[in-house]
Amino acid sequence: MNEQDINTSTVEMKAGEMLKNARTTGRRKREIATISKLLCIREEFLTALEECNYRVIPEDVYILGFARSYAVELGLDPDEVILKLKQELGLIKNEHKDHKEDTELKTKVKCDASKTNVKFTKESLLNWAKIVIQYVKKYWKWFLGGFLALMAIIVLLVVILSSGKNSDEANKAEVDVAKETVTETVNPEPDFRYPIHEKFDVKNSKEARVVLQAEKESWVKIEDARGSSVFSRVLIPGDVYYLPAGDKFKATFGNVGAIDVWVDGKLIKKLGPANTKKTGISMAPDALKSVGFAE
């Protein structure tokens, strides 16, 4: 089988078929049980992925997370697998279908535009110019009044903006003081226990009171007060995530014992045993401190 045949068969495969094919063919065949222990993902979930029986896994976010980790472990392109999987789950539309519909729409618009094309002659333009001139001569007082009113509005806006500029300059000093205060309260970077592999949401690092680092692989999901997901992915050993400032966030950990939690630069005790899933954990700094600091 040449490379062209392999690429064609891969395109026609479903995401689960690609995973199973990668695991069971080639020089390095592997058992699901071995990969399950390595990824800390239950065997039935990996089997469900290979058999395209995705609804055995409770949520789409877990389906996509497990599939990405599985694809990486098997040496597949995780983005290609996730794209196929999203199409199968109905999370995105088929790109080929969208392109076809877009082409048809552009063709229709082009045809409609050609039907409504209007040709202007020199004579018609002169007639329109005469009509406009006559209209202006007849109602010149209205045009003059409108022009004067517009000029008055412009002058008034200039005066208002000029007075507002002085007040803005007066408040600038207060803003600078506030910025300096924020700078002084920047939280220190934790003394992480493991070498850093990758950092996520580094934009939050200066104000983040809560920082996570993965000791082992674990799925992590952070939700705000409305239940909307602000972060969701599988962290591998060494990965660091900076939580946004605030005390309204809750977390779900696929392997709670594999996550180090740092609050205000100090490591707290584990939130649960290894290989245990926990949901709805409050990530408020004060609540986390009540767990106690690690020795």
Structure tokens at 67: 């599939």
Residue 174 — very low, low, confident or very high, per pLDDT cuts 50/70/90? low
Query: What is the bridge-based pairing of β-strands 218-223 and 250-253?
Result: antiparallel
110 vs 245: which has the higher pLDDT? 245
Closest C-alpha among 165, 272, 182, 172 to residue 218: 272
Residues 47, 32 contacting (CB under 8 angstroms): yes
Query: What would be the CATH architecture of the domain defined by 3-89?
Result: Orthogonal Bundle (1.10)
Q: Which of 154-158, 179-183, 235-239, 242-246 is the least confident region?
A: 179-183
Integer CA distances (angstroms), 21 to 55, 65, 74, 78, 105, in order: 21, 19, 10, 15, 39
Task: Give tens-digit pLDDT for 10-39.
Answer: 667 899 999 999 999 877 789 999 999 999
What pLDDT sits at residue 140? 81
Q: Can you give the length of the chain in residues?
A: 295
Q: Provide the pairing of β-strand 199-200 with 240-242.
A: parallel
The pLDDT value recorded for residue 5 is 42
- What is the rounded average pLDDT of the residues 49-65? 90
Whole-model pTM: value is 0.41
State the pLDDT at residue 111: 44
- Alpha-carbon separation of residue 52 from 24, 81, 87, 142, 251 (angstroms): 16, 12, 12, 73, 28
Asked whether 229 and 187 are in contact (CB, 8 A), the reply is no
Q: What angle do CA 61, 67, 68 make, to 5 degrees?
A: 90
Q: Where are the domains of the chain?
A: 3-89, 123-184, 199-289
